[in-house]
């Protein structure tokens, strides 16, 4: 009698299965981001997720590696490599996101748009060290991500859309003056 055994799964395969289940749960975008963050927390890949060649880069740069796009377009997974000094433009998103830091620390500056739409108001910051997970959903997801350390950081982002189809998770970039919350 021949017994078929399933091939071993990789960490990424296990995460994909967990995210599929999380996305299938009835929820609004914030709830889905929370469910996916829980799945990522439980199935965070090891730092060996990327090769040394994929992690290499010049100081002040960041680059992404698309790891998975769900065939039905319900989510995409991207590993982002943050070299020391890397910083994004201030932006918001087209959909929910859950992200976790695989190695290093990802720093996030949070903003809200002023009532008259002429400035950004700084409302806080987060640092997401190795193993930590967070999630968000629009509206209210305006931020900038940075690596202010001297070490490379790698984070895994799961977006609620087909990045092969739309290209980027960013909806809008902001080039407005930034005011601290105390100036309100």
Q: pTM surpassing 0.85?
A: yes
- Among 3-7, 55-59, 83-87, 96-100, the range scoring the smallest mean pLDDT is 3-7
* Beta strands 178-180 and 120-129, pairing class: parallel
pLDDT of residue 163: 87
pLDDT 10s digits, 59-80:
999 999 999 999 999 999 999 9
Largest Cα–Cα distance in the chain? 76
Q: Give ∠ CA 117-125-79 in degrees, rounded to 5.
A: 100
Residue 81 pLDDT more than 70? yes
Domains of the chain: 11-183 (2.60.120.10)
């Amino acid at each position: 009698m021949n017994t078929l055994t399933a091939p071993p799964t990789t960490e990424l395969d296990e995460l994909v299965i967990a995210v599929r289940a999380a996305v299938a749960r009835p929820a609004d975008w914030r709830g889905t981001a929370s469910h996916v963050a829980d799945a990522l927390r439980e199935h965070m890949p090891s730092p060996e997720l990327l090769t040394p060649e994929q992690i290499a880069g010049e100081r002040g740069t960041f680059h992404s590696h698309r790891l998975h796009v769900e065939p039905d377009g319900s989510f995409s997974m991207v590993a982002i490599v943050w070299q020391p000094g890397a910083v994004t433009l201030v932006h918001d998103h087209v959909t929910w996101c859950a992200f976790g830091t695989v190695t290093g620390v990802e720093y996030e500056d949070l903003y809200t748009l002023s009532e008259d739409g002429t400035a950004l108001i700084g409302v806080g910051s987060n640092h997401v060290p190795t193993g930590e997970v967070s999630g968000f959903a629009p509206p209210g997801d305006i931020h900038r991500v940075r690596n202010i350390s001297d070490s490379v950081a790698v984070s895994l982002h799961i977006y609620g859309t087909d990045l092969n189809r739309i290209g980027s998770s960013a909806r809008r970039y902001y080039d407005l003056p930034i005011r601290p919350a105390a100036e309100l």
